[in-house]
A and B are shown apart, each in its own frame.
Chain A
Amino acid sequence: MLEIIRQIPIDYYVWLSTALFCIGVFGVLIRRNAIVVLMCVELMLNAVNLLLAAFSTYLSDAQGQIMVFFIMVVAAAEAAVGLGILVMIYRNTKSTDISLLDKLRN
């Protein structure tokens, strides 16, 4: 049996992931720089990844870790496209402030 399963209850991983996820939500809510908002989204994705990996190890099931792998794939694609869009927005508005990006309203 793995040392970790005997010593650390799965709850600890749940609390850690919840805390990281909520810090990510906090960042998305209070920051106005679009790049930092994207970084906070990455933080939230990582909290979920950690929880999936923890449950995968505790249950000896590889499917959770495969899921983490696919989440990493999607996160990489999302970061590339998101940053491309941000660079384009910066070229047009000279700012990455998300409160300026309400052109679709009305």
Chain B
Amino acid sequence: MTLYIFLTLAIISIIMALLVVLSRNPVHSVLFLILTFFTIAGQYILLNAQFLAVVHIIVYAGAIMVLFLFVLMLLNLSRDTEPQKSALWKISGAIAAGSLLVTLVGAMRGSIALQIPEAENPGVGLVENLGQVLFTDFVVPFEIAGILFLAAMVGAVLVGKRDLKL
């Protein structure tokens, strides 16, 4: 049963990711990418990483993709204004990405021998456990992430201002 859920989600996410890349209209690309993110959130739930699944939906589908959609509609980009690369570029891109896929799969096939620990903890992805780790072992990176957000916010506002007077 779990295997079937995994396979369904995986096939849907790969098809949606291909549609993101191949659809002409950028707005359609954004919508397909949101569907891809929902399937990835489904994988997180399957992995019992519930905190990650919720944060993934809130951050990606709720914030980042809305930002992308907002910018696309602000700039009024659609199928007519979409710049296209030539067929030669597309074929060479497909060959390059396919070679990367074959190389990675060939390199990793049969080389993954995972030692699953005996005393395992199924609640590793729950909020309680993750909060403990985040605020004890990773408290300095957490604070640095806050500073990074502040810097990104100031940078985005400064970049977006029309006439900057310092």
Contact = CB atoms under 8 A, between A and B. Distances in A.
Interface size bracket, B side: 35 or more
Contact of B97 (A14, A23, A70): A23
Given A16-B10, A50-B40, A59-B117, A70 B26 contact: no
Interface of B: 1-3, 6, 10, 13-14, 17-18, 20-21, 26, 29-30, 33, 36-37, 40, 43-44, 46-49, 51-52, 55-56, 59-60, 63-64, 67-68, 71-72, 74-75, 77, 81-85, 89-90, 92-94, 96-98, 100-101, 104-105, 108, 112, 114, 116-117, 120-122, 124-125, 129-130, 133-134, 137-138, 141, 145, 148-149, 151-153, 155-157, 159-160, 162
Top 10 A-B pairs, shortest CB-CB distance: A29-B93, A77-B152, A26-B97, A27-B21, A30-B93, A22-B101, A60-B120, A84-B156, A84-B159, A97-B83
25 contacts: A3-B2, A12-B10, A15-B105, A23-B21, A26-B94, A30-B85, A31-B21, A35-B68, A35-B72, A42-B64, A53-B43, A59-B117, A62-B124, A66-B138, A69-B130, A72-B59, A73-B145, A74-B145, A77-B148, A77-B151, A79-B64, A80-B67, A80-B153, A81-B152, A84-B159
